[in-house]
Structure 1
Amino acid sequence: MTEEPSPVPADRRPGRAAASNATGRFEPYARVAVDDGWDRDEILPPLRTEVSEERPRKVITANNSPDVPFEQSLNPYRGCEHGCIYCFARPTHAYLGLSPGLDFETRLIAKPQAPAALARELRARGYVPKVLAIGTNTDPYQPIERDRRIMRGLLEVLSDHGHPVAITTKGTLIERDLDLLAPLAARGLVHVGLSVTTLDPATSRAMEPRVPPPARRLATIRRLTEAGVPVRIQVSPVVPALTDHELESILAAGVEAGARAASMIVLRLPREVAGLFRDWLGERFPDRAARVMGRVRELHGGRDYDPEWGTRMTGQGEWARLLSARFDLAKRRLGFAPLPPLRMDLFRVPRDPDPQLSLF
C-alpha cells in the first residue's frame, strides 16, 4: 500500500525541518490522517524528542565504498535531533519501522553500552587498528549527547588504547571534550571535520534547525585549532542555487578560524530524502524550488539522485566540473593542505583490572 504523505501542521513541528512523517518503505500498511467527521477542534501538542536505548553486541561497521576515505566507522546514535533536511542518513530509519521524516528527528535511539562494546572489539584477538570514523551517519555531538555522554565514553576508550579516530560533526558540544581531544591530537591520533553549509543564519536555521549557527561553528573550529586539534572544514552539502554561491566565502571563513584542510560534497537525495527535500523547498523557498531541483537533476543524470560510485558525491556534468574547479582554486589560494596521517603504531590493549597480582 502506498501513501501520499500529508504535512504535519506547522505548530506541531517547531524547530523541525521535515514537514511530514510518511510510513517507512518496509511497512505493509500506511497510516494516513483523515477527518473522522466529528468536527472537533482537537489541539495536538508539539512533537517532542523521544529517546530509546539499544544494546549493541558490536559497534564497529566495516566500509568498502570507494567514495569514502575510511574502512571502519561507528555511530553512537540512530536518528539525529539536528534535523538537517538534506541528511542522507534519513532512509536508515525505515529499517527500524520508523519514518525517515519527522521520526528521524524526534524518535532517537542511543547506544549507552557502545563504549564497552568498542573496548571488547578492540581487545579481540587479531584486531588490526585502522582509523575509526565517528559521525559518518548521524552526529555524535547532537543535543542528547550532553546528557548521554556516549561519545565521551568512546573517546576515553580510544585514548586508553591509543587508537586513531576521525570525527565528523556540526555540534559545538565537541568543545566539552577538549580535555580528551587535545592529548589525542598531541599523539597524532585525532582529526576533526566540522561541517559549515552556509554562512547565512536564516538559511541555516531553516535547513538544519537544531544545529548551532554558522558563526558558532566557526568559533568551535578556532577553539579546536587553538588546542592543537587538526580540523578540516567541510562544505557539505553544497546545495545548488541555494548555497553554492557561498563556497569561497565559507572556505575563507574556515581558514581564518584555523582550519588546515577542506572538503566538499554536493547535495545528494537518496530514497525518501528526495521527497522530503522537495516538500521543504516548496514550503521554505518556493521562489527558487524549481531552479534548485533542476540543478540537482542536472548533477545526477536527470534524476533526483544517482547512486553511482565515483559521481554520487561530486555530481556530473558541466556545472559539477565548474564547482570542482572553483573549490580547487579556492583551496590553493587559501593554502589548504591535507591533514597529516593518523598514527597506527601507538595502539595497545590495556591490561584488564585484575585483583590477582602478577608474578612478573
Structure 2
Amino acid sequence: MSRLRAEHLYKVFGRRADQAIAQLEAGTNRDELRAQGTTAAVIDASFEVEEGQIFVVMGLSGSGKSTLLRMLNGLLEPTSGRVLFDGEDLTALRPRELRQVRANKISMVFQHFALFPHRSVLENAAYGLEVQGVPREERERRATEALELAGLQGWERSWPDELSGGMQQRVGLARALATDADLLLMDESFSALDPLIRRDMQDQLLQLQRSLRKTIVFITHDLNEAMRLGDRIAVMRDGRIVQIGTAEDILVRPATDYVASFIQDVDRSRVLTAGAIMRETKTGAAAAADGAPEHAVTVTTETPLAELFTPFSTSERPLAVTDGSGTPVGVVDRERLLAALAEEPRVQPSVRGGDRSGVSTRA
C-alpha cells in the first residue's frame, strides 16, 4: 500500500493559472505559456511511493523537480491536484494543521546544510524536536541516538564550523532522523559535496535505510546517483514526468528518446543485475537438470553484472542464480552476459513519447 500519493499535480506561476492549466490540457506547450507571462513549473504529475521505498525524482535544472518536492509537504500550494499521505489530503488542510504535519510526520533535508552556527551539533540535531515541544532531556537523548546513526558519535559538543561539508550534511540528516518522521524529503541533499564524500553519504543513506526503512523522496540531477539510490525513479523534463520505473526499467526500456539519451553513459554493469538477464529455470531439484550445473558458482538475482566477471574468469560453466531465500531460479551464461552489456537501449514503441497515463500508475 502506498504511503504517499500525488494526483495530477500542477504548479503554475503567473496570472490566470486556471486558464493556463486548461491550455496545457488542450495541448499548449510550456514555451507558448511563457510567452504569455505564465510559467508552468509542474504539469500533471502523478505517482505513488510505497512504505520503506526510496523514490528518486531526477531531472536537469528547470525540470520542476524541486517545485514538485515542495508541493509534497505544503511549502508550495498546488495550482491543481492533490497530495495524500496515509490517505489524508494534505492540500485540504488548514495552515496550522499543515504545520503540525510538517513538524511531526515529514522532515526535509536541504542541499545546503541550513545549520545554526551558534548552536552545537547536538543542539542542531535536536532542533526539530525543540519545535515539536519535546522536553530537553528527551530531545537530547533522541538527537544523540540520531547522531550515532549518522556516524557522528563524539561530535555532539562541536560547532558546525569545526565539521567538514560531509559531516555537516550528516548533522542535517540526523536532525531529520531525530524527529522520527514517517516521510523524508531530500532536495539535492548531496549535490554540494565532493564526489568521494558524496558517495560516502550515499552509502550512509543506504545503510540507514536497510535498518530504518523510511519512506524517502530524493531529488537529484545526477542519473548515477538516482540509479544507485532509487528503488523507483521518476524522470522529469520540462515540468512533466516522462518515465517512472526501476533503474533496470529505465536503462533497458527507456520510454522516450530524451531518456535514452540520458542513459547512454551509464555503466550498465553496475545497474543491471543477474536477475535482469538470467534465463529462468525450474525451481528446486529440477534446476540443475534444466541448465544449472549442480556445482556451479551461485549468485543472487540482485548481484550486479560487474560482479559476474570474476566467476566467469575461472569457470566456463553457467552461473546458477538464486532468489532471496536461496532457491534456484535461473542461470546466466557468458554469452548472455556479454550480449546484455553490448545491447543498445531502444525506446519502447508502446511508450514512445511518454505514456503519462501509464506513468501515473507505475510508481
Normalised TM-score (structure 2)? 0.27
* Structure showing greater Rg: 2
Normalised TM-score (structure 1)? 0.27
Higher helix share: 2
Structure with more relative contact order (C-alpha pairs < 8 Å, separation 6 or more): 2
